[in-house]
Structure 1
């Protein structure tokens, strides 16, 4: 069941894109000496992504604007969600840091660049063992040369190595961290045991319903490619109340997905009918216009275009009458 194309990204953005959860994460996991230098009172999401489209399946990111030592600064969080670790990730992260500075310079040409605190959240089925410094990827060099070699340190969080007792924070943050720490388990039952009580608690808060839906979509997409019936069985074995919460949302997702599929089918059929009608009436010269029509996803708009084809004898007149 293809519910969302990038479930890792959706969960990450829905969680740490929330100002309250972001502050909760940073207050619980940043080292004390760093926290004393940062004021999180007016934290803002400055930009939600610097990731290239082709890498969205492997990375998600958020850039926060904060006060560092009384002046503007940034915290950049990169979430790697490959099933394996990649030694080039710190270099990838350095590229994004440079992109942030380029963007800031473009917008503030006469100002010094702002400091950026880099954080890497690693989410894979193997323990991260590449350290927390770019220099660890570079061959050992004499001290006289080392000052001239680019390098930086980053804060690393691999929650797969955290016990459930070590995962701290408010409900949404704990739910997110427990999910990513268990989702690659061979048996997701342990993850469900940790997640279900939090879902029950969150269900009682009116603000938590959309987030629960994001969580359930994530489980259905990532967790063992689990089916609805299997999810129902597993959750009932753990908690009848938790099962009721999770299955209500899961069935809604399944129903919405089917309805969306029906609508997509109607739109594709209409595209084919319009393309056939255009070629039949105006010949192959209508091909470019038919290509533009395929970008339209509004079914009612497509029906209007189908009627307009009948009412125009000139392709030029038809094109002018329609706002594509």
Structure 2
């Protein structure tokens, strides 16, 4: 059985392209003033592919549209996933903003829409980059006067979000916790918290499988022991046939790796014994210890007189 790869960015997109999960997430993270302008029953995933003037394409991670409560207006929500703090994230988003607005005009609208931007940052250290367009400029005061630059981009900075806060994220909580710790902790260190979240907020089976494959593929530590823990403590994992198959595969892989390691250890010990025998013969011939070490490659000759 081949383990499926589920990179950080792909897992994020998979979860937030689910409209129900996205609605939960946005109702937690959008400012209240903006939520009052949204009829979440009209939330709709829209294309994030934009053709630029030079005919090159840009691809935003997640773009949603949502109507105003009176149905007379539409706004857009742009959500980007970042694993590293690129040089100027707000400037990067500006090209997507232009694409979203152009797409809106091409649908027959006469005025530009409001767009709210959000960055989901899962780096190993707190987010170090600029959070607004103004800080992307060298001459900030001049840029502010000339352009009237907008407020800061919302940054969900995973390294700084307390675990207790993450538990409020409902079905996005498991993914958020996983991406917070995937590069810094052994899988078993956060397994109990993850199991608790999966029990409280069961995921669609496809999303659950993607999350587990991601953790097994990208995580640190004994993935067989980690999956066994989840299967013992999360009913949904325990009852899924694909998880059982993956668990058996990991156990078999672990046993095979143990056999290979045992064989390698035996080889090392055999080679060491041969070197010691050669060292003993060289000593019997009257060679000095320094010479014996150079010839055999042994650094420890305790017991040799």
Q: TM-score per shorter chain, which class?
A: 0.5 to 0.7
Cα deviation 1:28-87 (Å, max 9, x = unaligned):
1222232223332211112255599x999xx9611111124741111111111x2x3112
- 2:219 maps to which of 223, 227, 232: 223
Q: Mark the structure with the bigger radius of gyration.
A: 2
The match for 1:211 is 207
The match for 1:161 is 160
> How many residues get paired?
241
Cα deviation 1:168-205 (Å, max 9, x = unaligned):
44642111211121212232323222212333456xx6
Rounded Cα–Cα distance in structure 1 between residues aligned with 2:31 and 2:171: 21
The match for 1:3 is 4
2:118 partner SS: strand
The match for 1:63 is 63
The match for 1:100 is 100
Rounded Cα–Cα distance in structure 2 between residues aligned with 1:173 and 1:201: 12
- 1:233 maps to which of 225, 240, 265: 225
Within-5 A mapping of 1:283-302: none
The match for 1:283 is none
Within-5 A mapping of 1:219-298: 219-224=215-220, 230-236=222-228, 240-242=232-234, 245=237, 249-250=242-243, 252=245
Q: Normalised by the size of structure 1, how large is the TM-score?
A: 0.63
The match for 2:38 is 38
TM-fit CA distance, 1:150: 7.2
**Residue 147 in structure 1 maps to residue 139 in structure 2:** no
TM-fit CA distance, 1:8: 2.2
Cα deviation 1:254-295 (Å, max 9, x = unaligned):
999xxxxxxxxxxxxxxxxxxxxxxxxxxxxxxxxxxxxxxx
CA RMSD across the alignment: 3.5
The match for 2:125 is 126
1:66 partner SS: strand
The match for 2:74 is 72
Q: Normalised by the size of structure 2, how large is the TM-score?
A: 0.67
Quick one: structure 1 residues 40 and 233, their matched pair in 2 at CA, closer, same or farther if it must change by over 3 Å? same
Counterpart contact for 1:28–1:168, Cα < 8 Å: no
Counterpart contact for 1:123–1:159, Cα < 8 Å: yes
Rounded Cα–Cα distance in structure 2 between residues aligned with 1:40 and 1:251: 37
Rounded Cα–Cα distance in structure 2 between residues aligned with 1:14 and 1:238: 21
Quick one: structure 1 residues 155 and 141, their matched pair in 2 at CA, closer, same or farther if it must change by over 3 Å? closer
- Give structure 1 stretches of 5+ with no counterpart: 257-324
Rounded Cα–Cα distance in structure 1 between residues aligned with 2:219 and 2:159: 15
2:105 partner SS: helix
Rounded Cα–Cα distance in structure 2 between residues aligned with 1:220 and 1:237: 13
